């Protein structure tokens, strides 16, 4: 599948699955997996339930959204500071102060938790659906 350009995720934890975990784009080992499988995997889930994969997916999407949003803000803000500096509207010291303040703001904003109650409800719905299917 990788040869066709697909992204491959491998979820397992046995000793004999370690080469497949290493070859996958993303590999996930469960908590009760063998030591070598946990060491080889990109992600180790603390629980033995596959429901945690849905939570990881939601968190990863939120993280990428935050990264892109922060990148766009910093690029736009710093570009405007450069433009205002070139035009002589602001002094270099004010530009440096605003740049450092914006960096600190983005850092502080990035440290806030990703998950909120709305996202937790989505995970609970997924868990309910999977428990009724079992």
Residue for token digits 């889930």? 45
Q: Are 26 and 42 in contact (CB under 8 A)?
A: yes
My answer on whether 61 and 22 are in the same domain is no
Nearest Cα neighbor of 19 from 31, 4, 3, 34 is 34
Which two structure tokens, joined as six digits, stand for 1?
């599948």
My answer on whether 70 and 126 are in the same domain is yes
Domain membership of residue 38 as a residue range: 2-44
What is the count of structural domains for the chain? Answer: 2
Residue 69 falls inside a structural domain:
yes
In tens, the pLDDT along 56-114 reads 888 888 899 999 999 999 999 999 999 999 999 999 999 999 999 999 999 999 998 87
pLDDT at site 39: 87
pLDDT at site 78: 95
The three-class DSSP label of residue 61 is: helix
My answer on whether 17 and 71 are in the same domain is no
Angstrom distance (rounded) from CA 108 to CA 70: 11
pLDDT at site 99: 96
pLDDT at site 49: 76
Phi/psi for 113 (5° steps) reads: -60, 145
My answer on whether 30 and 74 are in the same domain is no
User: What is the distance of C-alpha 35 from the center of its chain?
Assistant: 25
Strand order across the beta sheet in which 43-44 lies = 9-11, 26-29, 43-44
pLDDT(37) > 90: no
pLDDT at site 93: 95
């Amino acid at each position: 599948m990788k040869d066709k350009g697909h992204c491959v995720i491998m979820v397992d934890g046995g000793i004999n699955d370690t080469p497949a975990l290493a070859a996958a784009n993303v590999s996930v080992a469960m908590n009760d997996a063998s030591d070598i499988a946990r060491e080889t995997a990109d992600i180790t889930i603390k629980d033995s339930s596959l429901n945690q994969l849905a939570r990881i997916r939601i968190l990863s999407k939120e993280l990428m959204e935050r990264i892109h949003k922060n990148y766009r803000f910093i690029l736009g803000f710093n570009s405007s500071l450069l433009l205002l500096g070139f035009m002589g509207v602001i002094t270099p010291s004010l530009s440096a102060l605003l740049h450092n303040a914006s960096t600190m703001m983005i850092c502080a904003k990035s440290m806030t938790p990703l998950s909120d109650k709305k996202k937790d409800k989505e995970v609970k719905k997924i868990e309910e659906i999977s428990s009724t299917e079992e």
